[in-house]
Amino acid sequence: MNYESIIPFLAVLIVILFLLFSVFLLFVKTRKKLSNQLLAAFLIITAIDISAFFYSHITTVSLNLDMLRNSISAFKNPLLFLYILSLIYSNFKLKWIHLIHVLPWIITIIILLPNFFLVDVEAKMAFIKNYDATIEIQFLNYFGDILSLAYLIAEFYYIHRYRKLLLENFTDKRAFKNYNWLKQLAFLLLIGQVLTQVKNYARVHLSIENTNSLRTIVLFFGVFFICWLFLKAVNSPKLFKGVDVALKTSKELKNSEKEQEIQSKISYLKEFMVSKKPYLNPSLTIRNLAEELKINSRDLSVLINQHLNQHFFDFVNEYRIKEAQEILKKPAKKKFTILEILYEVGFNSKSSFNSAFKKHTGLTPTQFRKTHS
């Protein structure tokens, strides 16, 4: 296969798609402007990086400019990381502290100054000729690999933490759509990272034929990635809903309370759940419940997640299932369909009701009704 003709074509296609999608992100009307700007910046920088496969056939740039083009790839990981944070937290804002993410690029430029940027053209040509063998590039490659791994670990950590926040603060399954999408994004990023590392290894240690075949695979993955992003944006326009940046998990908020006070609060909470039935609200959040109880939402989070050893999601669903069990047992309500019952007790989808019912009782709603009829 003639990879040398396929690679420029794929690279041009990706650059065009990335830039078009970036324009869409920058000009579409949305509440998540910062998220769109961060993703657009990532796509633009990636497009500039990929342009290395074809731009030399179109125009000629100085060696310094070409090296600067190559070095801005150091911004890809920070932009993706900040993008993920901006999706997780609805009130996320860029702060001065985030300038620390510019540090790797500054280090790259400083390392390249003595033997590239500050030397004559002949020395620059010699540097490029022995590019992969130079100490500077070898160090920067290892440095970049470590940073990429660190960012990937941080992204997975925050996505996992996001799931805990959702479980501890929300009961509506729709709140988890954003998490599921981020999980898919992290998985694709991991695949892209692995493919890029394999391609980089091949560039140094394997033949040009093997390297070009891996480059082709990476570029095909790039086409798939941008198409996936586009489909997600079209099919799930309301997907990007974050949680409050001030929210913390219950372990982060746990404090030392006297056992007697804890038991008193637990009793009050359980009595309130039985008497007032707030769980019948399908969109109940921990903040809503705390307001009804007239207590701090952080204290309520610690009470449920740490002292009752339950996520808020499971805690509320347990009461909903008990309510559903009572309805299913009553002969007077035997004409009620399962769909009518699940809506009456606070669920908003049949699948989530069935899975929760099976989890708490070991039976499906239909089996439970037959057993207790």
Residues 6+ away with beta carbon under 8 Å from 351: none
Q: Which residues pair with 243 in a beta bridge?
A: 89
- What is the average pLDDT score of the chain? 84
pLDDT of residue 258: 60
Mean pLDDT of 191-217: 82
Mean pLDDT of 74-101: 89
Q: What CATH number does the domain located at 3-235 have? A: 1.20.1070
Closest CA to 203 of 192, 191, 193, 215: 215
Mean pLDDT of 324-333: 85
Residue 58 pLDDT exceeds 70: yes
Specify the amino acid at residue 304.
I
What percent of the chain shows pLDDT beyond 90? Answer: 18
Per-residue pLDDT of 303-319, as tens digits, reads 888 888 888 888 898 99
Give the dihedral sign, CA 228/234/238/242. Answer: positive
Residue 226 pLDDT exceeds 90: no
pLDDT of residue 243: 52
Domain 250-372, CATH 3.30.1330.10 — does that match?
no
Calculated CA dihedral for residues 197, 200, 205, 211, nearest 10 degrees: 110
- Structural domain spans, the chain: 3-235, 250-372
pLDDT of residue 351: 86
Residues 6+ away with beta carbon under 8 Å from 125: 63
Q: List the structure tokens of 198.
A: 């394999």
pLDDT of residue 168: 76
Specify the amino acid at residue 192.
G
Cα-trace Rg, the chain: 27
Q: By the 8 A CB rule, do 368 and 330 touch?
A: no
pTM of the model: 0.69
Q: By the 8 A CB rule, do 173 and 348 touch?
A: yes
pLDDT bracket for residue 247 (50, 70, 90): low
Specify the amino acid at residue 227.
C
Per-residue pLDDT of 100-138, as tens digits, reads 999 999 999 999 999 999 999 999 999 988 888 899 988
Closest CA to 56 of 47, 66, 46: 66
Per-position DSSP letters for 149-172, written without gaps between them = HHHHHHHHHHHHHHHHHHHHHB--
- Tokens 């009793």 sit on residue: 267
Specify the amino acid at residue 178.
N
Q: Which long-range contacts (CB under 8 A, 24 or more apart) does 259-263 make?
A: 262/303, 262/307
pLDDT of residue 207: 79
Residue 286 pLDDT exceeds 70: yes
Q: By the 8 A CB rule, do 44 and 29 touch?
A: no
Per-residue pLDDT of 165-190, as tens digits, reads 888 777 767 677 778 878 888 888 88
